[in-house]
Structures are given as C-alpha cells and as structure tokens.
Structure 1
Amino acid sequence: MVRASRILAVSHFSKRELARVFGIPDTKIQVIYNALDERFVREPLLADADRILERHAVNDPFVLYAGNIKPQKNLTRLIEAFAVVKAELRDHPEFSRLKLLVIGDALTKHPDLRRAVVRTRLREDVRFLGFVPHPVLRVFYSRARAFLFPSLYEGFGLPPLEAMAHGTPVLTSNASSLPEVFSQAALLVNPEHVFDIARGIRQILTEGVLREALIRRGYELLGRYSWERSAQQVREVYEAVMAGRAAPE
C-alpha cells in the first residue's frame, strides 16, 4: 500500500485512519464516496409486500437492523437498548408489541447474541431472519418503523443509505465515519451507551416531527452520493496518476 501512487478512501474518516495506521502521507490519499446500489431506487417494490411479511410471520410493528453481524456492529448493545424501549413502551397503544428484526445471519451462529436475547427476556420480540433476497430486503426496509445502525466502526456504512431510499428514518452512531456520511439526515447516538441508543429509538418512534424531518433529510441526502459521480472521480484519479499529477487537496 505504501508504494501505491494513489490510494482511494471511501470517507475522510477512512483517509485519516489510513494515514494514522500505515503512516501514509495524506497527500497520497483521495476520498471518493460510496453510493447507493441503483436497484434500491430504480426497481419497483414487490407488489405482494403484505404477503411477504405474512410469510415471515411479521404481523407487528418492527424496527430493523440489516447488515453483517460482527462485533463492531454493536448488536449486543442494540438488543439491550431495545429491551429498555420495550419496557418504556409496554403500554403504548401502537408499540406495545414492537419487534426488533435482524437480517444478515442466523442467531444460532452467534451465541453471544443468543445470550443477550435470553438475558433481556426478549425471545418473543427479537427475531433473526438470516439472509433474505434483495427484493425481500427492500420490503423490510420500506415497512420498518426505524432502521437502527449503532455501529462502533464504519468506513462508510451503506445500509443506512439503503433504508433512507425507502423513506425509513435512521438511527446511527456519532462515531467513526457515520456523522460525516449521514450528518443531519440520521439521529446520532453514542454507540457505547445503551440508554442513549434507547433514547434515540424511542424518539424516532414517538416524535412525529422528528420522524418526518429525518425522512425528508434522508431523501435529500441520496443526491449527494452517486456512482456516476464516483466513477468519474476514479477515472480522473487514473488519468492524474498516468500524467504524474499530484492528488487534489
């Protein structure tokens, strides 16, 4: 890596991390953002969305996590925060039966998360659906009351952008690249504090003005990230390297 003429980073946070960890001069690193998979905006939603939810036995309001299941994704704290929210909303007319759905892997592969579910007494309220096909994932994005992504460490973080494309308000972390990428379009919480995550979930569910603002800002943010723009920037990097030009500041 240190011998490369130019290094591409997907965020300014990633650029700083590359410079810090590998000792690479930041003048060699150029930021080119990721963008949304065009299938999330061009393809229509499945017409039988209700039947898909029924097939997965999803009959109650739910909040959603979708993505890899790794320690830095912070799912243990998310489960603990959801337990707090469930207790606070147990008599709520709309959310007393709220569920947390996790898409990405089976619970049997993650004994630590299984223990968290058992410890918080949420065996009936937290469901791990494993992998689902892309069209089905879009249904879950569109029907979720909120998308929850309290990750501890991300270079960019595509799933929140995917949720925003479906008009779903997003909660994410105030750590790593996430404030840079999502700014005012998501509700930012401290990912290391269970009660701050819980506070954010409760706010998104119960504060209508906040929900509408996050949905609107999410749609607006989509225009900032474009594969057409990113591809053009990559091409310009190639041309600059071949011509021996320095990276832009």
Structure 2
Amino acid sequence: MDKNKYGRYILAVSSLEPRKNLNNLIKGFKQANLSGTKLVIVGAGSKVFNNPGLKELLQEDPDIIFTGYVPDAELAGIYHNALMFVYPSLFEGFGIPPLEAMQCGCPTVVSETSSLPEVCADASLYVNPLDSTTIAAAIKLLSENEERRKELILKGFARAKDFSWQRSAENLAGIINILL
C-alpha cells in the first residue's frame, strides 16, 4: 500500500449499516476540524445507502473518502499508515476491526458501549457514540498528542496478542484437560 495514497488520515473500517454510527463519526471528524487530515472509510457498500442524514453530511466532502471493499492483503497497510482508527459502533457482538487495528500498530478510539470495553481494555480511548463532540475530542487528542498515540500503540500490540489463535488453542486445550 502506497503510504502517501491518502496522506494524513483517520481510518474507519466498517459496513455502512446505521448501527455502525457513521453519522456521528463524520460529524465528529468535521467538528475536530483537522487541517490536512482525511477520513478514510473502508467497507463494502455504496455512498447511497439507507442511513438517514448521512447524505447531507457528506455533500461531496473532499476530506471524506469511501474506498469500498479493500482486499485483506492491502488492509493491514491501510491500518498501519493511519493516524488512528475510530469505531463508534452502537452495538457489537465482539468487534474484530479494533483488534485488527491494534495488531497493525494503529491507535484506536472506540465506543464505550457494548462489548468494546471488554475487548479493547486499556488499549483504546473511549467515546460516547451518541455524542459527536466526544468523538471529536478523542480525534483531536490523538492527532495532537504523539505520546498518547505511542502509548496506545504499545498497549494495542499487547492486547491484540491476548486474542491470537495460539492463545485460543491453549485455552481450549486447558479446558479440555480439566474436563477429562
């Protein structure tokens, strides 16, 4: 992935369904008002979808880029080169994209709701997904505070290791041994 393809950017990897809360992400991005920074949204779907109010938010904004589907081989580079990953989902059963971001060395901002605090632990900044000003504040904080970004990157690497296939296999083997 060409590191300069998007310049300086904030990343969201998400389907375009309303529960993913792209409306408040875009509002928060615009409120943060970061000069020279783009919002890149990776996910299958079309710009014209059933998400009330989103079309008005976009209005052909050159700082908001919808990539559509991106192959996994390219996605790791997109995560790695992003300034941060933002995931203000209203509901998640687990939430794999934040872990993918952490594994790629990208600091994360996620919803304080659903399963995300349990999944991300102390390796993320948390926002109220219903309040775009908290999303904007977190975006601004990570864009201006390199020390905090580095801290979250290190914590993210450690947290992502907790969810490796190796660790899952070891845990399952331990449970099987107890049952036998």
Shared fold (TM-score greater than 0.5)?
yes
TM-score between both structures, scaled by the size of structure 2: 0.88
1:84 counterpart = 2:31: yes
Q: Deviations over 1:85-135 (max 9, x none)?
A: 12xx3xxxxxx12110100124434253323212xxx61111110001111
Cα RMSD of the aligned pairs, angstroms, is 2.1
Residue segments in structure 1 that go unaligned for 5+ positions in a row: 1-48, 90-95, 244-249
Deviation at 1:220, TM superposition (A): 1.3
Contact persistence 2:42–2:69 (CA under 8 A): yes
Match of 1:174 among 104, 107, 112: 112
1:50 counterpart = 2:2: yes
Matched to 1:72, the amino acid is: R
Q: Which residue of 1 aligns with 2:130?
A: 192
* Bigger Rg over Cα: 1
User: What is the total number of aligned residue pairs between the two structures?
Assistant: 178
Deviation at 1:65, TM superposition (A): 0.4
Contact persistence 2:86–2:110 (CA under 8 A): yes
1:128 counterpart = 2:66: yes
From the superposition, tell whether residues 239 and 220 of structure 1 become closer, same or farther in structure 2 (CA, over 3 Å). Answer: closer
Distance in 1 (CA, whole Å) between partners of 2:15 and 2:178 is: 35
Match of 1:108 among 29, 44, 47: 47
TM-score between both structures, scaled by the size of structure 1: 0.65
Q: Which residue of 2 aligns with 1:40?
A: none
Distance in 1 (CA, whole Å) between partners of 2:118 and 2:29 is: 26
Distance in 1 (CA, whole Å) between partners of 2:47 and 2:157 is: 36
Q: What's the % identity of the aligned pairs?
A: 35
Deviation at 1:235, TM superposition (A): 5.9
Q: Deviations over 1:19-76 (max 9, x none)?
A: xxxxxxxxxxxxxxxxxxxxxxxxxxxxxx327x54xxx2x21100012222111111
Q: Deviations over 1:129-188 (max 9, x none)?
A: 000111111111111000010111112111111111111110001111111111110001
Contact persistence 2:16–2:45 (CA under 8 A): no
Deviation at 1:228, TM superposition (A): 2.6
Deviation at 1:223, TM superposition (A): 2.1
Distance in 1 (CA, whole Å) between partners of 2:171 and 2:149 is: 34
Deviation at 1:225, TM superposition (A): 1.3
Residue segments in structure 2 that go unaligned for 5+ positions in a row: none
